Structure 1
Amino acid sequence: MYKALYRKYRSKSFDQMLGQEFIVKSLKNQIINNEISHAYLFSGTRGTGKTSAAKIFARAVNCENPIDGNPCNKCESCTSILNDLNMDVVEMDAASNNGVDDIRQLKEKVIYPPTSLKYKVYIIDEVHMLSKGAFNALLKILEEPPRHLIFILATTEIEKIPATILSRTQKFEFKRIAINEIIKNLKSITEEEGKSLDDEVYLLIAKNADGSMRDALSVLDQLLSFDIKNMTIEDAVNILGISSQEAIFKFTNALINRDLIGAVNAIDELADQGKDFLSLNNQLLGHFRDLMLVKTLQEPEKLVFSTYLKEFKAQAQNSDLDRILEIIDGLKDLQTNIKYAENPRILMEMTSLKICSEPSQKSLWDNIKNLRERIESLEEGRTQSFKREDPSDIIKKEKESQVIHKSENENFVPSPILEDRVEKKEGLPLENESEEESFDLKTPEAKEILKESKEFDDENNKEEILSLKDIREDWPKILDNLKAINQVALAGVLIDAKVHSFANNLLDITFAEGHVFHIRVVNDPERLEIIKSLLKKRYNRDIEVRFSLEKDITAEKLENLFEKNIINRK
């Protein structure tokens, strides 16, 4: 009967094991020094040598002539174990013997001493498959084991093992075997079988094995069964149903460059070749992983094992790292869904179209960043508009302003009372806004200021048609009038206001949403009276003024562009 390569070339001594040097050294030292524990736990991914190490250890502890911690494989004990003829070494599969009754039967057997060997060894594969009751029964054995008993537990999912079991075992973590070691072993076995493969084929097998020597040998077994004296990469790709690197580069270039037609055509070409879409997606993920590392690392050769490294570097130069990460994210989601899809081609096409058509996350974040910077600059400008000025500077600026706007306000003469009032304000607490706005329109001082203000000429006092356009054009002058009567802070607040509408002698003035403080300031009865008085002086009519908040159009647009819960509207 034909024997599979992974069984035929299974390691028979610790020295033949690949990629587990530290574990091998520890186990050999225990055997040499006769420091054998009663329970071991071997964990790690599939095909890394856990069961092989357990069988070697079972022979080594019972070997009549051990050689530097290795079994001799020649004595009666070793040969009987190798040929599965010794009843004192038992290998169990916990997946099919996971009940509490199975472990109770085991408990009844282990109490008896070995018949021909020094130790009774029980190897339990996939131990994480045991039920809770079975683990409790096993725990009782591990707590009080007989002196002649050794348990070797093997698992690929150590996180499922109860802590009470873990604490009673020596734990050894088997790591994935390096690609170089897998290739070296594959070449050695191929030579023994009298065959040869191209170097690219060995690399293809090793990369797809994902650190598992057993998986690599299974693939090699499949290739060698075609009885081709020297197998090329094209032969291997066709036999294994793996897409060629040329097709993969064509497909990935289409995804990177957002080429919808190229991506769909590439899928159609691969489908005609009968490629499995789950395997294809695995290849794509592996390709973009290598591309990501080539794009990021200065020496990608240490982590990217490929004969197409030159092509990867060329593709990386024409790719953006953010774009590569976006594609990996899309393919990752596809990997989960495609396993259970009745028509995986549709999912592959749909995902490819999404990847090619969706806007770049980088561009979206850039837009948000630009919006944030604009908002911050606006807020910073608004803050500067509220900065308090030195009273002496106010008088100086007002005098300069009178010269600049002489043509507009040539009849305006600053009141001497105003200068006295400004000088008196020196030394007042600048932080207290209410103290600055203590101007009372009913006081004789205020009446005299308004009386002495000759800014409004006779033409403006005549009754005439007043439009919204007129008020908007005059608005800067109105703010200057406020400053002239020492209402600098009020003018600063109204800088952010917008003259919204005017009808039936009702003037609507709005602030952007969030300016609640501004509304509270301008709606103060005294300040409102000041504004109405200035308007009456200018336009010779009683004008009612109403302040309100307008809808935040910018936030609304952001909510339409993104989701409402993303936008923080204060």
Structure 2
Amino acid sequence: MSYQALYRVWRPQAFIDVVGQEHVTKTLQNALLQQKISHAYLFSGPRGTGKTSAAKILAKAVNCERMPVSEPCNECAACQGIMDGSISDVIEIDAASNNGVEEIRDIRDKVKYAPNAVSYKVYIIDEVHMLSIGAFNALLKTLEEPPRHVIFILATTEPHKIPLTIISRCQRFDFKRITAHDIVKRMVHIANETGLKYDEKALHVIGAAAEGGMRDALSLLDQAISFSTDMVTVEDALTVTGSISQSSLNKLAKAIHEKEVAVALGALEELLLQGKDPARFSEDFILYFRDLLLYKTAPELEEAMVRARLDEDFKQLSESMLPEQIYEYIDILSKTQQEMRFSNHARTYLEVCLVKLCQTQVKSFPNDAPEMTELYKKIEALEKEITLLKEQSTKRSAEAKSDPAPRKAVRSNAKDFRVNARPIMQVLENATRQDLNAIKSRWGDLLESLNGQKMVQLAALLHDAEPSAASSNAFVLKFKHDIHCRMAMENETYFQTLSQTLEELAGTAYQIIAVPEKQWSEIRREFIEKKKPDGDQVKTNEEDPLVAEALKLVGEDLLEIKN
């Protein structure tokens, strides 16, 4: 065959020709100049991005007679021999067809022999992820500690399938997809060198269809050259790549914007009759709206546009459409694209999608619309209310900080807390055991009722309290701890709730007089002493003859009376 495909003729022969991978080529060039060559490399990335080409360039550079150099000279005997394949020290292996253990063992046995014609023996293993587990295990030790004269370069499109033990023994370089701008720039260079007549817009169509692969772009360009007569035109590129023309996309977008369902469906029918792929159509339409949104929001980023060209129809559409509408169009198209992947009725999904796009309603109001004015008023009122609440909160915090001492002193100085003894004396004057037992019989029901009313705090406060003396309309409530008594007396709501609940249970409205346990003992003793000279009988808990006898025997100090 006298003719060679463009991607073979224009395969990069130096690092400068590797398009869009500067982060890889610069690192390798610095390593070559500093003579810090690793024993193993892993090149990973999508197809057609220059992995194998970079491996061959590196093999030439390390064996170049002018070493150290950043680029192979491609003129010396070593470079020329590697390029035409006459030097057997650079071995390229396809792991897709040589993936067994025996092939790798053969490599392992031969690496010990020194190279014949050049300084380094280089093994380039393409599609290395296709090796079997046994083959990877056979390669492992050799890859970790090869002889000084051997370099391994592994290339793959699926690095996740390679064992981590292999990856950790290599210097890894990730090749990225080439941008459409870099692809077009390279194709322009090739077209100018070969004397090809072309429309630059056609090259942009091919660059967008290549999806980041330089080899795919050159193959499409080769096909477009064969399809065209004297000059590669936009129509030639559209036909070869299966892409949709700009005029067709403009017509469809205008019909959708103007809600003309019949026109949109007619345009789709025409495209499908031309043999356009439904999946490719959905992709092109998404990219078209993406470019439309980009031009509308950031017109200065014209170079970032992927699919569309700035003709008059495109500019008019960008002015008439709202960003919210474009968001909705892209969202509907993306969902349709996902659904088409799992269906055999792609055309039906596209037709339904176009009807949805035509019926899309995006509610949007201009800034001076009545709805927006009303909304602004509500927002302003809410902001004023929030500001007022913040001021009140700040004022209360300042007052609390400015006067903390008196409240703290009242609560902390327990020694100064004394109850009024006179009401307690009055209760003791009229106290009877019958009245006291009547209250105590209802005390458990009282606590249960308070818990049922969710007065848990009050019920907890009364846990260590008990009635100690009672008359027909009042009783003394003794608290074990001073602080609990003080808390109950300071909160009037507690006694109101307690009195109301007890009235509901016993049918009598009682006056409640709180007293700490220590003060209760003192007041009761004082009351008894006052009654002794008169010989009156004390009508309290101590009226029981057994209690009186016990008092005579042991005295009040050693006796504790419990009901």
Provide TM-score, normalisation by structure 2: 0.61
- CA-to-partner distance for each residue in 1:367-409, whole Å, 9 max, x for gaps? xxx9xx9xxx9xxxxxxxxxxxxxxxxxxxxxxxxxxxxxxxx
2:78 is aligned with 1:82: no
Question: Which aligned pairs between 1:81-230 and structure 2 lie closer than 5 A?
Answer: 81-230=82-231
Q: How far does residue 317 in structure 1 lie from its aligned partner after superposition?
A: 3.4
Q: Secondary structure at the match of 1:225?
A: helix
Whether the 8 Å contact between 1:256 and 1:324 is mirrored in structure 2 is no
Question: Which aligned pairs between 1:272-283 and structure 2 lie closer than 5 A?
Answer: 272-283=273-284
Whether the 8 Å contact between 2:294 and 2:301 is mirrored in structure 1 is yes
- Higher mean Cα deviation, 433-442 or 187-196? 433-442
- Partner in structure 1 of residue 31 of structure 2: 30
Separation in 2 of the partners of 1:232 and 1:191?
Answer: 16
- Partner in structure 1 of residue 323 of structure 2: 321
Q: How far does residue 67 in structure 1 lie from its aligned partner after superposition?
A: 7.5
- CA-to-partner distance for each residue in 1:488-546, whole Å, 9 max, x for gaps? xxxxxxxxxxxxxxxxxxxxxxxxxxxxxxxxxxxxxxxxxxxxxxxxxxxxxxxxxxx
Code of the residue aligned with 2:24 in structure 1: it is I
Separation in 1 of the partners of 2:349 and 2:128?
Answer: 37
Q: How far does residue 38 in structure 1 lie from its aligned partner after superposition?
A: 0.5
Separation in 2 of the partners of 1:140 and 1:361?
Answer: 66
Separation in 1 of the partners of 2:496 and 2:26?
Answer: 80
> Residue 167 and residue 278 in structure 1: after superposition, are their counterparts in 2 closer, same or farther (change >3 A)?
same
- CA-to-partner distance for each residue in 1:452-510, whole Å, 9 max, x for gaps? xxxxxxxxxxxxxxxxxxxxxxxxxxxxxxxxxxxxxxxxxxxxxxxxxxxxxxxxxxx
> Residue 192 and residue 302 in structure 1: after superposition, are their counterparts in 2 closer, same or farther (change >3 A)?
closer
Whether the 8 Å contact between 1:247 and 1:266 is mirrored in structure 2 is yes
- Higher mean Cα deviation, 40-49 or 353-362? 353-362
- Partner in structure 1 of residue 337 of structure 2: 335
Whether the 8 Å contact between 1:47 and 1:215 is mirrored in structure 2 is yes
Separation in 2 of the partners of 1:228 and 1:431?
Answer: 102
- CA-to-partner distance for each residue in 1:225-272, whole Å, 9 max, x for gaps? 135223332333234332111111222344455543333222111112
Q: How far does residue 24 in structure 1 lie from its aligned partner after superposition?
A: 1.8
- CA-to-partner distance for each residue in 1:188-217, whole Å, 9 max, x for gaps? 211232221112112212222233221211
Q: How far does residue 430 in structure 1 lie from its aligned partner after superposition?
A: 7.8
Whether the 8 Å contact between 2:228 and 2:236 is mirrored in structure 1 is no
- CA-to-partner distance for each residue in 1:244-303, whole Å, 9 max, x for gaps? 111112223444555433332221111121111122122112212223333443633242
Code of the residue aligned with 2:47 in structure 1: it is R
> Residue 442 and residue 48 in structure 1: after superposition, are their counterparts in 2 closer, same or farther (change >3 A)?
closer
> Residue 440 and residue 158 in structure 1: after superposition, are their counterparts in 2 closer, same or farther (change >3 A)?
same
Separation in 2 of the partners of 1:431 and 1:208?
Answer: 82
Code of the residue aligned with 1:330 in structure 2: it is I
Separation in 1 of the partners of 2:99 and 2:504?
Answer: 93
Structure having the higher Rg: 2
Code of the residue aligned with 1:328 in structure 2: it is I
> Residue 355 and residue 431 in structure 1: after superposition, are their counterparts in 2 closer, same or farther (change >3 A)?
farther
Q: How far does residue 311 in structure 1 lie from its aligned partner after superposition?
A: 4.6
Whether the 8 Å contact between 1:430 and 1:436 is mirrored in structure 2 is no
Q: How far does residue 144 in structure 1 lie from its aligned partner after superposition?
A: 1.9
> Residue 63 and residue 279 in structure 1: after superposition, are their counterparts in 2 closer, same or farther (change >3 A)?
same
Q: Secondary structure at the match of 1:36?
A: coil
Q: How far does residue 221 in structure 1 lie from its aligned partner after superposition?
A: 0.6
- Partner in structure 1 of residue 390 of structure 2: none
Q: Secondary structure at the match of 1:307?
A: coil
Q: How far does residue 93 in structure 1 lie from its aligned partner after superposition?
A: 2.2
Separation in 2 of the partners of 1:436 and 1:145?
Answer: 96
- Partner in structure 2 of residue 348 of structure 1: 350
Code of the residue aligned with 1:51 in structure 2: it is T
Whether the 8 Å contact between 1:294 and 1:312 is mirrored in structure 2 is no
State the identity as a percent.
44
Code of the residue aligned with 2:353 in structure 1: it is T
Separation in 1 of the partners of 2:279 and 2:8?
Answer: 28
Stretches of structure 1 that go unaligned for 5 or more consecutive residues are 378-426, 447-570
Separation in 2 of the partners of 1:162 and 1:293?
Answer: 42
Whether the 8 Å contact between 2:206 and 2:237 is mirrored in structure 1 is no
Code of the residue aligned with 2:92 in structure 1: it is E
- CA-to-partner distance for each residue in 1:40-75, whole Å, 9 max, x for gaps? 111222222111111111111112234732212222
- CA-to-partner distance for each residue in 1:71-104, whole Å, 9 max, x for gaps? 1222222222111232221222223333344333
- Partner in structure 2 of residue 15 of structure 1: 16
- Partner in structure 1 of residue 41 of structure 2: 40
Separation in 2 of the partners of 1:128 and 1:62?
Answer: 27
Separation in 1 of the partners of 2:506 and 2:254?
Answer: 80
Q: How far does residue 13 in structure 1 lie from its aligned partner after superposition?
A: 1.1
Separation in 2 of the partners of 1:161 and 1:188?
Answer: 37
Separation in 1 of the partners of 2:60 and 2:195?
Answer: 31
Code of the residue aligned with 2:33 in structure 1: it is I
Separation in 2 of the partners of 1:312 and 1:199?
Answer: 19
- Partner in structure 1 of residue 470 of structure 2: none
Q: How many equivalent residue pairs?
A: 388
- CA-to-partner distance for each residue in 1:121-173, whole Å, 9 max, x for gaps? 11122223333333333222212212111111122233333322222111222
Separation in 1 of the partners of 2:225 and 2:318?
Answer: 35
Separation in 1 of the partners of 2:149 and 2:363?
Answer: 64
Whether the 8 Å contact between 2:329 and 2:357 is mirrored in structure 1 is yes
> Residue 82 and residue 250 in structure 1: after superposition, are their counterparts in 2 closer, same or farther (change >3 A)?
same
Question: Which aligned pairs between 1:455-474 and structure 2 lie closer than 5 A?
Answer: none
Code of the residue aligned with 1:174 in structure 2: it is F
Separation in 2 of the partners of 1:248 and 1:325?
Answer: 17
> Residue 228 and residue 131 in structure 1: after superposition, are their counterparts in 2 closer, same or farther (change >3 A)?
same
2:234 is aligned with 1:249: no
Separation in 1 of the partners of 2:329 and 2:344?
Answer: 23
Separation in 1 of the partners of 2:216 and 2:494?
Answer: 76
Whether the 8 Å contact between 2:42 and 2:153 is mirrored in structure 1 is yes
- Partner in structure 2 of residue 409 of structure 1: none
Separation in 2 of the partners of 1:79 and 1:269?
Answer: 54
Q: Secondary structure at the match of 2:151?
A: strand
Q: Aligned Cα RMSD in Å?
A: 3.8
Separation in 2 of the partners of 1:433 and 1:268?
Answer: 85
Separation in 2 of the partners of 1:433 and 1:329?
Answer: 65
- Partner in structure 2 of residue 308 of structure 1: 310
> Residue 340 and residue 441 in structure 1: after superposition, are their counterparts in 2 closer, same or farther (change >3 A)?
closer
Code of the residue aligned with 1:205 in structure 2: it is I
- Higher mean Cα deviation, 354-363 or 202-211? 354-363
Provide TM-score, normalisation by structure 1: 0.60
